[in-house]
A = this chain, B = another copy of it.
Amino acid sequence: MKNVKHAKCVQCGKLYEAVPNLTNCTCGGILDIVYDYGYIKTVLSKEKLAARRDYSMWRYRELLPVEDATPAPPLRVGWSPLYTAEALAKELGIAKLYIKDDGINPTASLKDRASAMAVAKAKEAGAEVIACSSTGNAASSLAGNAAAAGLKTYIFVPSRAPKGKVAQLMTFGATVISVQGSYEETFELSRQAIDRWGWYNRNAAINPYLSEGKKTVGLEIMEQLAWQVPDYIAISVGDGCTIAGLWKGLKDLYALGFIDRLPRLISVQAAGCCPINRAIETNQAWMPMEEDTLADSIAVGVPRNASKALMAIRESNGLTVEATDEEIMSAQKLLGRTCGVFGEPAGVTGAAGLKKLCEQGRIPADATVVSVVTGNGLKDVANAINACGEPLSIPSDMELLLKAFAEKGIVVE
């Protein structure tokens, strides 16, 4: 890979050759892929991008850690829409708001960006099997992207995993091992199996290529905004890989001179599980927390990528804010009603935090903000049902309809 120099441990600084099956540093630290921006400047420009017809994450190939000959995996991941949210901006009292809807990815979450990268690197490694442990979007995105590429998957889930997510995995032909125990025990069995059989490892925060996939969300936001940098980008944070990936993409563009400043990140966590934000707010090392939130995709009490996430928030002079479950579900309806975007609870947590910051007067009225929706509401219909209340219920009778409207205060214009 001419564009990649090496991988570097974010903890001890040790360098590694960027082979396809990289895992953590011997010190336990997470690796980061280091690029040769000087070289990349010679092969990529804004004009070249503008002329490109590949509307997927692979349009940024010069900024991705893959060999020239590596084919893009089959599913069309990325280039999700960035919607101008005028009505919502007005409600929040800010000048300009954009909603990046990553729920329209093939398996309906931003995680497809990481899984597509995992599939590409597994192919480079000559692997025929990929494995991971996960209960959620990482698992289903891996299963879907691997199936399309003809790779087998072994996926370890704790037995508490929702049946619907297991069904999605099995539909994609994954071998699903439901582990009678905690998530830690599940992870441990997956680790042993991966070691034993040499499967390609798609555990987040172990495989350093995954956040390089995720960074494409940041690359896209900037290109879709015609390289006009917003003041803030709000995103939900669980294990930290996504916000770290987003930041990496923005820094890439800054290093290349494609953008002339960097936005401030808004790290939004659930009030019931916010170890990363708490570390920022107290300016101390992060500490494990209980996982008490219905936003399951970000209910991560022991974040596996805290180091990169904390660096991203600090480097960007970022803001932190916590949203309660009530505020999250309220944001789900707010995005639905004003934007026609239906996000899962964790998916709309970024917007929930943004709303809270606006109410607290922490966002200037003239600000331009992007809020990323990381997953589709159809992933978790049960919580939407609880949040949205009951519809009007009447027999088929016009008089009763008029009466029901009057009782509910519904005035038809």
Contact = CB atoms under 8 A, between A and B. Distances in A.
Contacts of A74: 83-84, 339-340
A151 to B, nearest CB: 10
B385 A336 contact: no
A303 to B, nearest CB: 22
A396 B396 CA distance: 56
Nearest to A384: B167
B401 A193 contact: yes
Interface in A321-357: 332-333, 336-342
A98 B167 CA distance: 25
Contacts of A185: 395-396
A370 B173 CA distance: 22
Interface in A133-177: 143-150, 152, 154, 157, 159, 163-164, 166-173, 175-177
Given A342-B168, A378-B376, A336 B159 contact: no
A396 B189 contact: yes
A399 to B, nearest CB: 10
Interface string A372-403: 00001111010011011101111111100100
A413 interface: yes
A154 B175 CA distance: 44
B196 A391 contact: no
Nearest to A392: B177
Contacts of A393: 159, 178, 180
Given A106-B340, A146-B340, A337-B147, A398 B196 contact: yes
Given A128-B413, A384-B167, A398-B193, A107 B75 contact: no
A290 B181 CA distance: 46
A245 B150 CA distance: 34
Contacts of A104: 76, 104-106
Contact of A378 (B76, B108, B397): B108
B385 A332 contact: no
Contact of A171 (B55, B177, B384): B384
Contact of A401 (B170, B177, B413): B177
A339 B105 CA distance: 15
Nearest to A83: B74
A383 to B, nearest CB: 9
Interface of A: 55, 74-76, 81, 83-84, 87, 101, 104-108, 128-129, 143-150, 152, 154, 157, 159, 163-164, 166-173, 175-181, 185-186, 188-189, 192-193, 196-197, 332-333, 336-342, 376-379, 381, 384-385, 387-389, 391-398, 401, 404, 410, 412-413
9 contacts: A163-B385, A170-B333, A171-B384, A172-B340, A173-B338, A177-B391, A177-B394, A181-B395, A185-B395
Given A170-B333, A188-B396, A378-B379, 17 more contacts: A75-B81, A75-B83, A76-B83, A81-B106, A107-B342, A129-B413, A147-B340, A164-B384, A167-B381, A171-B377, A172-B337, A173-B336, A173-B337, A177-B392, A177-B394, A177-B401, A179-B396
